[in-house]
Each structure stands twice: as structure tokens, then as C-alpha cells.
Structure 1
Amino acid sequence: MNKPSRIMTPRMEWRHTMAFRLDPATAIKDPHGIHWGMHPIAWRNDDIPEVGAFNTLDDMLLDLADVGYAGTECAGFFPAKEEVRERAEARGIRIVAQWFSSFILRDGVDAVAKDFEEKCAYLEYLGATRIVVSEQTGSVQGVRDVCIFTDKPVLTEEQWHVLADGLDRLGDIAHAHGLELVYHHHLGTVVQTAEETIRLMELTDPARVSLLFDTGHAYVGAGTVADLLSATIDRVGHVHFKDVRPEKLAESRAAERSFLDSFLSGMFTVPGDGCIDFTEPYRMLVDHGYDQWILVEAEQDPAVANPHEYAVKARAYLESTLFTL
């Protein structure tokens, strides 16, 4: 895909110099001490590499710094770790976490542990504090011809315990590298619904496994945001705030789309641009004393939804609606 043409104004040319970095005076300031970042999936998509392929690590870091987001997660398109650390530090942006696809049920935890430890060491080098884990055995989230709304893998009773025990072991490895394992409930996987998410939290050790709470996946896959958050809030160690366009959700359901085709059609967007009322989950997190990271996230095609524009849109919503509560 060719990079969309744009007219470079003097301001845009200045933004693309190495001297530009996050200014603490203009960065997002949450009145309750929560740290705000934005996920790299707004710029580039690991599941469909051609989506956003024109964006670079520098494009993303410069947009984050310009709009005032202090952190992000790693993505598959990032260069070598030394280069990532140098560039992120130059922009004043924290690397917070990265996704890890586990196949505990397919391969066994012994086989998974080696790659997991390598990823933990990588994140430790970058100064991250979390590692995001999702069990991908049987996952259909990356399959284009499977309806995400009707077809998903389901665990047997024995598999539940194998998965929970395996995650506990990975949690110990994460701790050895100064990281917290946060499990991502996700559309198209074995842990998608509210019942599945709650059960996994009940079966795993709270000292080893936490939850990444994602509002978009909760709304679409679990049918609830506030109820699921209330049931799991003691386990929340990381948060993604993602909104949903209801008309696009209905359209994708009717068309029996896959996860990839649903987000390409515009099902997800940033907070304040969809139907989720974020005041309730935000207030619940604040009242519970949560003061870690919330990352704005929305799987979208950056050729259609300009990441800088949507980063600005999300910040405006945070400051006008959430921070005034």
C-alpha cells in the first residue's frame, strides 16, 4: 500500500525532527493519577500487516508526543530492541507492555515458557511493566472466513485447569523480570464472554495473574462493560479503553463477519466516538484506587481513520467528559 499523500506544513515538518519529544507541561494529566497512553494498533496492524504499512515507529511516537500520550505498547513492526528504546526515550514515551500469544493448551506450558521468557526479557530491557497474554489455541480472531459472533473455541473442564495452571506458571516467569502478567479477554478466543473471563480469574492465582480489561471486547464479546468490570475489578492490572460504533456492530453481525473484517468495516473507534459510556468504568476504576495505565485503543484502518486525528478526538473526550467527573 502506498502511503497516502499529504501536504507537509512547516509544523508537520518540524514534528518529524528528532528534537521533538513529549512536553510534560502539555501532556495528558489525569486528576486521579492514572497514566494515559495509546495503542500502536491505531497506526499499524499486526494481524493484517498491509494495514498501516506506511506508518513507522517514528510516525507513531511523534503523534503520541504531539498529542500528549505518555505511553504505548510494543508491536510486531517495531525494529530491534536497542532502536526501540533509543527512539522511545528520545520522544519521552514509555513502553508499557506487549501482546504475547500463548498456546498452552496446544503445545503445553513447557514449550510456551521458553518464548515467554524471551519476551519478558525483551520487555524488561525496554522498561515495560506488563506483559499481555491471550491463549490462542483454537482462536478464530485472525481467520477471515469465520463469523466472530457465532463461532469460537470452547474449553472442556480439564482444559480450564490446564490453562489456569499454565498461566500461573507464566506469571512467575513474568515476576522474575519485574512484569505483571495481564490476561486479555478477547473476541474469538477461549476467554471471550463474561462468564469465561470471571471463571479464569477464579481459577488463577491473584498473585500471579491479573486482568487486562478491554471495554470494546467486553461490550461486543461479553455483552457488558460495567457488570464485568465490577465482577473482576480486584484483578485489573491494565486497561484498554476502546469504543464501539453500534451501527457497524449491527452491520457486522448481520453480515456474519470475521473479527478482522468487522474492525476493517469500522466496528471499533476511540472513546467518545461510539456508544459506550466511559464515565461508569472510569469512575469504578478511580473509586477502586486504580492508578496504573489506560491505553486508548481502536483497531481501525489508518488510511481511513487518521491516527493523529483520532488521538486528538480521544483526548478531547477524556478531558471534557471523564476528567470533569
Structure 2
Amino acid sequence: MHSLSRRGVLRSLASVGFSALAAHASNLTKVALPAESNAIRLAAQTNAFPIDPRNFDSFLAALGDLKSVGYAGFETGFINLRSQAKSTAEARTRIEAKGLVFTGVHIFLPEYDPQTSIAPQALYESVARLGAELGAQRLILSGSPAVTPDEIKRKADALNRAGQFAKSQGLILAYHNHWPEYKYDGREILQVYADTDPASVSFLLDAGHAYRTGFDIPRFVYEHAARLTGIHFRDFREGKQVPLGQGTFPLRQVASSLERAKWSGWVINEEEREDGTKSGLVVLQPAYTALKGAFGA
């Protein structure tokens, strides 16, 4: 669903010496969040911008645009940071100068480890170290669908291990879903919630992806708020993504559920398009207005 093509991701990974491998939660103890996250705050994913991973200035320009709109934080894909692996102190200074909280570094791949359904351990450990040095708060992992009970168990066990490593680096581990995890009444995602340790694994709910399966998002966020370290928002109309607030996603109902649950954390706009269109502020500005209206943040 992300705009980076499979070939583009693999090429970028190869250029830095890595390759992707080929092929109802009972305990809802809340993972401790950073001290500043004591209220709902607004952030955005950077993948609405045409960032060149080889040009760090293009990434910094995107952060400047987000700041100009009013967003308080950002999330970005690890590809955008790899070029700074040998100059992290300088890069962190330049990032922090933009005045945004670095909410998380996200690993999305065209293919995942077939044994664990998440990123290879060597890759996520490398990205966690880099993210920590650059000031990120979270290591965010996506994954491939796990179907059988054994596959789901292996995925949950791998997330527990990743969560322990992220914690050793001072990061929160957050699992980010796409739509398959919410098919079949959320069978996979609910089992992953149940099989992961709340002290090590939290979740970055992509509410837009889950909504596409017909899932009751307002109810879900109320019932599982304690495991959510952040929420991605996106909107759809007639099967196509549109700027947040211009589609049918129940944004205000979700905001009301989070208020009833007394939830605090990051609400993150993700304005990516399946056709790879990079519209930047054209879509991020109205989305910010919609988030501001719903959450008053």
C-alpha cells in the first residue's frame, strides 16, 4: 500500500548493505509512554511527500512543511534515514531544529521474513539503533498476514523479541496493521494482541486500513485503547483514498470513543495513495484541519 515499489525498496536496502528476506487481549496493561504524550497530539507520516532517500535535504524540507501546517510530530520510513547512518549526531541536530517530535521510524517492506511475518531481526535491530540515535520514540513494524494459529504464534513471539530489543534501545515497539489483519472479524489481530506482552509490544492502529474491512473502529479503539500508542488516520470515498475528512471514515465517532476511554497519544495522518501520487500539503493541509476539528488538539 505504500508508494515505494518493491523494486525501489529492495534497491534502497541493497545500497546500504541489507536485503529483505524472500520469502481479545486479556491483559491490557498500558505501555509507558514518553512524558510529553499526556494529551492527544497531531502528527503526520512523511510519505505524502516526494522524498528522495539519497537527498536528506528533501526529507528535512518535508518536515518544514509539516511544521508550517501545525503538526506537532512526524513519522517516517526508515529508507529516508539510511543515508545518515554515519552522521547521526549532525542529522539529529538538523531534525530537531525543525521543531517536531520524531514519533517513530517505520519499517515497511514488500516482503517479510516468512518464518516471523515481520522484518528480519538484523534489519529491525539496525533500524532501531539508528532511530534511537536520531531521536525517534518508536520502532514501528508492519508485517505480512499470518493465517494459521502456528503462524500467528510465531509472529507474536517475534514481536515480543523485537519489543524487548526496542526497549533496550529506549524505544517503544509498535505493530502497524494493514487491512488483512482485520479480515474475518479481526481474528489475526485479536490473537496477536492476546499473544504479545503489553510491557513490550504496543500497537499503532491503522484505523483507515481496518475500516476498509467493515470493522467497527469506534468500538475497537474504546475497547483496546490501553494497547494503542498511536493511531493512523486515512479516509476513503468509493474505494479510493481522499484527504482525511472528505470521505466516509467515522473520524468524530472515533474521537468521541477515545475521549470516553481517556486515551492520550499521537493521532497520525497518513495521506498515501495507491497510485503513488505525492501531493504533499495539498492533502496534508485539509487533513490537519479535519484532525483539529475532531480532536481539538
Judge same fold: TM > 0.5, yes or no: yes
User: How far off its partner does 1:219 sit?
Assistant: 0.8
| Equivalence for 1:63 | 65
| 1:33 aligned residue | 39
Please point out which of 208, 222, 242 is paired with 1:269. Answer: 242
Tell me by how many angstroms 1:278 deviates.
0.9
Q: Percent identity?
A: 27
Structure 2 letter corresponding to 1:96: T
Change in 2 beyond 3 A, CA 1:318/1:80: same
* 5+ long unaligned stretches in structure 2: 1-37
Is the alpha carbon distance of 1:35 and 1:157 closer, same or farther for their aligned partners in structure 2, counting shifts above 3 Å?
Answer: same
Unaligned runs of 5+ in 1: 1-31, 137-152, 250-266
Pairing 1:87-126 to 2, within 5 Å after superposition: 87-101=94-108, 106-107=114-115, 112-126=120-134
Gap change, CA 1:278 and 1:45, over 3 Å in 2: farther
Q: Distance in 2 between matches of 1:319 and 1:281?
A: 13
Distance change (3 Å), C-alpha of 1:171 and 1:304: closer
**1:316 shift after superposition:** 2.0
Who is 2:140 aligned against? 132
Which residue matches 1:80? 84
How far did 1:293 drift? 1.3
Q: 1:221-240 counterparts in 2 under 5 A?
A: 221=213, 223-240=215-232
Contact 2:222–2:260 (CA under 8 A) maintained in structure 1? no
The answer to whether the 8 Å contact 1:269/1:299 transfers is no
Q: Identify the residue that residue 183 of structure 1 maps to in structure 2.
A: 175
8 Å CA contact 2:173, 2:201 repeated in 1? yes
More relative contact order in 1 or in 2 (CA 8 Å, sep 6+)? 2
Is 2:264 the counterpart of 1:287? no
Deviation at 1:70, TM superposition (A): 1.7
* Aligned 8 A contact 2:175 2:202 in 1: yes
Are 1:215 and 2:207 an aligned pair? Answer: yes
Deviation of 1:172 after TM superposition, in Å, equals 0.5
Q: Given the superposition, is the C-alpha separation of residues 162 and 321 from structure 1 closer, same or farther in structure 2, using an over 3 Å criterion?
A: closer
Cα distance change on mapping 1:310 and 1:196 into 2, 3 Å: same
Alpha-carbon contact 1:43-1:307 (below 8 Å) kept: yes
Cα gap change, 1:122/1:301 in structure 2, threshold over 3 Å: closer, same or farther? same
Q: What's the TM-score, normalizing by structure 1? A: 0.68
CA-to-partner distance for each residue in 1:138-191, whole Å, 9 max, x for gaps? xxxxxxxxxxxxxxx552221121111111111110111111111112135xx2
Q: Give the greater-gyration-radius structure (CA).
A: 1
Q: Indicate if the aligned counterparts of 1:132 and 1:181 stay in contact, CA closer than 8 A.
A: yes
Contact kept? 2:177, 2:209, Cα under 8 Å: yes
Decide whether the 8 Å contact of 1:42 with 1:301 is kept in 2: no
Which amino acid is 1:195 matched to? R
Q: Classify the secondary structure of the residue corresponding to 2:136.
A: coil
What are the residue-to-residue correspondences of 1:144-163 with 2, within 5 Å? Answer: 153-163=145-155
Letter in 2 for 1:58: L
Conserved in 2, the CA contact under 8 Å of 1:183 and 1:211? yes
TM-score, normalised relative to structure 2: 0.74
* Letter of the 2:42 counterpart: W
Partner letter of residue 177 of structure 2?
A: H
Q: Which moved more, 1:216-225 or 1:172-181?
A: 216-225
How big is each residue's C-alpha offset from its partner over 1:38-62, in whole Å with a ceiling of 9 and x where there is no partner? 111111489xx9xxx9x92133112
2:295 is the counterpart of 1:322: yes
Structure 1 CA distance for aligned equivalents of residues 247 and 50 of structure 2? 21
Q: 1:68 to 1:302 in 2, by over 3 A?
A: farther
State how far apart, in whole Å, the 1-side matches of 2:227 and 2:147 are: 22
Count, aligned residues: 250
Alpha carbons 1:65, 1:91 under 8 Å: kept:
yes
Give the drift of 1:311: 2.2
SS at match of 2:126: helix
Look up the SS of the partner of 2:97 in the other structure. helix
- What is the alpha-carbon distance in structure 2 between the residues aligned to residue 200 and residue 302 of structure 1? 30
RMSD of Structure 2 on Structure 1 (CA): 3.1
